[in-house]
Structure 1
Amino acid sequence: MAELPPAPWTAREDLAQLVSALGAGNVRWVGGAVRDTLLGDEVADIDAATVLPPKEVMARLREAGIRAVPTGIEHGTVTAVLAGGPVEVTTLRRDVATDGRRATIAFSDDWREDAARRDFTINALYADPATLEIADYFGGLDDLAARQVRFIGDARQRIREDHLRILRYYRFQARFGSLLDGEAEEACADLAATLKGLSRERVAMELLNLLALPDPAETVERMLRRGVLPVVLPEVGSDGIAALIALIAAERKSGTPPAALRRLAALLPPDPRVAEQVASRLRFSAAQKKRLATAAGRTAAPDDPRALAYRIGREETLDRLLLAGADIAPLTGWEIPRFPLKGGEIVARGVSAGPEVARLLRRLEDQWIAEGFPGRDRIEQLLDAALAG
């Protein structure tokens, strides 16, 4: 029997208290925490599965003095708020009905039945908190060792149950996969049109999560070639793939962390209007829409990166530089300064409050930027000269 290797999170005292509250044998760790620990990756979130019904989970946690939040209790999920971070505790389930977007579930006490409704074999690994023994019902350990992302059961059936699994497949393949699963590849391509029925928010979340991975370019190119990407991003062509590859290389060379919106901008044509249309279609926030459109308005590398950063923002300028393949050194360690002159100072020098003050401020600010953001003494000189003029 395979065992989960000891990790810092498996020794957490608050998790031991959670297991004690729910009862030994009633709970197992499941999903990403188990998978990532086996791979030696950092564990971000911890999920637990239990045979106990949600109301009993709530009662036991409260009795043990653990705050319990019914975050998705109708679907069996209760969040235990612990000192080391929240843990989602979900009652074992089976699907009663699915329509590609949502599922009607029933609670279960059968671990294999719960595993059978999960998407990929590598996500259906359970670990006993006491012994760390792993329960693997569908060959997830072998697939993890082979770096293969494989659907549990029939790939087409799993996608028909939840169309988002197409995008999830590609995201997991980009992160974990080196060996392609032929059945999964064909199923995703054949059923790509079903993505049209999903909410735009769910599609956007998966796309951004995919693009935020260290190097998703090969996967994104395959999505384009297999006809999957055009369903959700018809604006992307081969030029976009080339731009994404170049951007990832520039990020690595400069040591800049990945940014999903910057990478999405690389995939899109360099046209802010197109970017705004995509952002609206994917229901991005106003801030996301603005950043995407600004990045999509890229041209050649700016002559003065610091001046551009002052006017449009540091991250937006970083996007422009990296998309242009330009040096980001001018922004490294540099903080955007604040213009050291107020309108009241101009009024105090005898200029009547009103449009003339605003015009003078803008002119002086332009001079200050053009001269490389000099200190207060230079601002005084510029102001003296302007008033004398």
Structure 2
Amino acid sequence: MKIILAPDSFKGTFSSKEVINYLDQGFRKFIENVEIIHVPIADGGEGTVEAILTATEGKKVDCIVSGPLGQKVKAYYGLLGDTAVIEMATASGITLIADEEKNPLKTSTYGTGEMMLHALDNGAKKLVIGIGGSATNDGGLGMAKALGVKFYNKDHAEVGHGGIELGNISTIDITGMDKRFKNIEVDVICDVTNPLLGPNGATYTYGPQKGATTTMMVLLENGMVNYHNLIQETFGIHLDSIPGTGAAGGLGGGLVAFVGAVLKPGIETILDVVAFDEKLENVDLVITGEGKLDGQSIYGKVPVGVAARCGNIPVLAFVGSIGDGAEKVYDHNISGVFSTVSDVTSFEEILRNKEKIMEQGVERFVRLIKTGMRLKKR
């Protein structure tokens, strides 16, 4: 029997790699002659690089870059041949600053640009960038500055960093931008469709969680409008008409404008990077999963994304818990759903006993599969 284990992390309890390890131990304990392929999956947010490196035997590259407020931070990315997989949050993420330091007028994506350059210096010819978890609302201004783009105010002085500067820009000069980006493919993992501007845009949707007050949001939105208009004048690109350009405080839009990035769904991009389709040959069963499977799981989440690639191969979802509307996944190539939680309990109680709950859940799950195998033989 040949099985692929391809779950997302169970957020708050186990990484995708840890979930796979529990399942692997369970199968080897109860089923003989089983071949197991490990394919940890992430959706572009935290843990994406780790998951991809595990699935592809790539290498982790450390680098020192500028944090959201200019402080030096130790970031990292994955290098798979000539493809670099970057989590912008390791350089420009909200977890890198204290709550009292959150201020999207000041935070910058400069470190993300530094990581991109570092990857090119290491031979990367393609960049895959996950843009979840940002601390910024600068439209990718900092990122572009790191790549050599100059932004001038009306007095022809270079502007500084942070979202506050978007309203001060009068001219964009790309003549000094790193020329290597003319030949570099950039895919951006982006699962949101927010436009750059307006009530559903970068500022008003995500600004408050990054520390923006009502007054700040007015300044940021006005600055983003100015930035958008200048990009349209410079590149002929109407960013606000492209879904997802509001992601990560407009970094999605900045990457489209300055490096010609393509915004792609997270799970599809990750499955392509790990060459998932190639691993399906002669596979008898695929097991995927996530922390909580519910009606929203059909919208770009890992289990449904994995199942869509599996054709006629049976797919089961092993999950932390099952929520309202979970039955919708049965219309998306998932044959069954199994939860580790067997009793009504609090999340705090689950955290205290997570290892025991997982072990018992895996045993019940594998025993059920073994029974199915016996029935098939009769």
Structure in which a larger fraction of residues adopt strand? 2
TM-score (norm 2): 0.27
Larger radius of gyration: 1
Higher relative contact order (CA 8 A, sep 6+): 2
